[in-house]
C-alpha cells in the first residue's frame, strides 16, 4: 500500500499495479529506460529515452529497441484492457517502418487495444520519434494480435515467484 503526501494510505488500482510491476520492476524494461507516460483502460503510452548503448552504427536508436518498445506497449495495452495480469502471448506483431530514426532521438509508443475477446486481443498504434521533448514524426506503425487467457502462469505470478 502506498501513502499520499499527507501520510494516508492509498489503495493502488489494478492499472497502477500493472504500471508499477510491468515497467519499474522488470529488469529489461528498467535497463532500457522505459517509462509509462499514460495507461488507461485499453491504452498504453510508453517513452524510451535515447541511449547510445542501444544505437546503430549511425548513432540512431537500434530498431530492436523500437520493436521491444512496441511489443511492450502492446502487451501493456492488453493488460490494461483486461484490468489484470492474466496470461497473454504475442501471436503476431507487425511493425511497418515509416521514417528513418536520427541520432539522439527518443521514442514513444502509443498503442490502443481495439478488440478484446475471450481468446484474442487486437492492438494498433504508432511509434513516434521525439527530439527535445517534442514529437517529430511517426517512425513506425504497429498492429498485433495477442492470445489472452492462455494456459500457464500470469505475469504477476511469475513476478511474485522471482521476487520471493
Once rounded to an integer, what is the mean pLDDT over residues 42-59? 92
Burial readout 49-73 (b: 16 or more C-beta within 10 A, e: otherwise):
ebeeebbeeeebbeeebbebbbbbb
What share of the chain in percent tops pLDDT 70?
Answer: 77
DSSP 32-70: TT-EEEEEETTEEEEEE---GGGB-TTSSBPHHHHHHHH
The predicted structure's pLDDT at residue 9: 47
Among candidates 74, 64, 62, which has minimal Cα distance to 142?
Answer: 74
The predicted structure's pLDDT at residue 87: 87
Instruction: With a cut of 90, say whether residue 106 has pLDDT above it.
Output: yes
- Cell numbers standing for residue 18: 500493472
The predicted structure's pLDDT at residue 154: 60
CATH superfamily of 11-162: Hotdog Thioesterase (3.10.129.10)
The CA-atom distances, in angstroms, between 89 and each of 31, 86, 149 are 22, 10, 9
Burial readout 131-153 (b: 16 or more C-beta within 10 A, e: otherwise):
eeeeeeebbbebbbbbbbeeeee
The model's pTM is 0.83
Element (H, E) at 162: helix 155-162
Element (H, E) at 110: strand 106-116
Mean pLDDT over the full length of the chain: 84
The model's pLDDT over 1-44, given as tens digits with 9 standing for 90+, comes to 444 444 544 445 556 666 666 666 677 777 888 888 888 899 99
The model's pLDDT over 123-160, given as tens digits with 9 standing for 90+, comes to 999 999 999 988 899 999 999 999 998 887 665 565 56
Q: Are 74 and 146 in contact (CB under 8 A)?
A: yes
The model's pLDDT over 54-77, given as tens digits with 9 standing for 90+, comes to 999 999 999 999 999 999 999 999
Domain boundaries, the chain: 11-162
Amino acid at each position: 500500500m502506498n501513502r499520499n503526501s499527507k501520510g494516508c494510505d492509498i489503495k493502488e488500482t489494478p492499472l497502477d499495479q500493472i504500471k508499477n510491476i510491468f515497467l519499474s520492476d522488470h529488469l529489461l524494461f528498467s535497463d532500457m529506460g522505459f517509462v509509462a507516460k499514460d495507461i488507461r483502460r485499453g491504452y498504453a503510452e510508453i517513452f524510451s529515452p535515447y541511449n547510445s548503448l542501444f544505437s546503430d552504427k549511425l548513432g540512431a536508436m537500434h530498431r530492436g529497441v523500437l520493436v521491444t518498445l512496441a511489443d511492450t506497449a502492446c502487451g501493456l495495452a492488453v493488460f490494461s484492457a483486461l484490468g489484470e495480469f492474466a496470461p497473454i502471448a504475442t501471436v503476431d506483431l507487425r511493425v511497418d517502418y515509416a521514417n528513418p530514426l536520427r541520432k539522439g532521438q527518443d521514442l514513444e509508443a502509443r498503442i490502443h487495444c481495439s478488440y478484446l475477446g475471450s481468446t484474442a486481443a487486437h492492438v494498433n498504434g504508432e511509434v513516434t520519434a521525439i527530439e527535445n521533448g517534442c514529437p517529430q514524426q511517426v517512425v513506425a506503425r504497429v498492429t498485433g494480435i495477442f492470445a489472452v487467457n492462455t494456459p500457464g502462469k500470469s505475469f504477476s505470478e511469475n513476478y511474485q515467484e522471482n521476487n520471493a
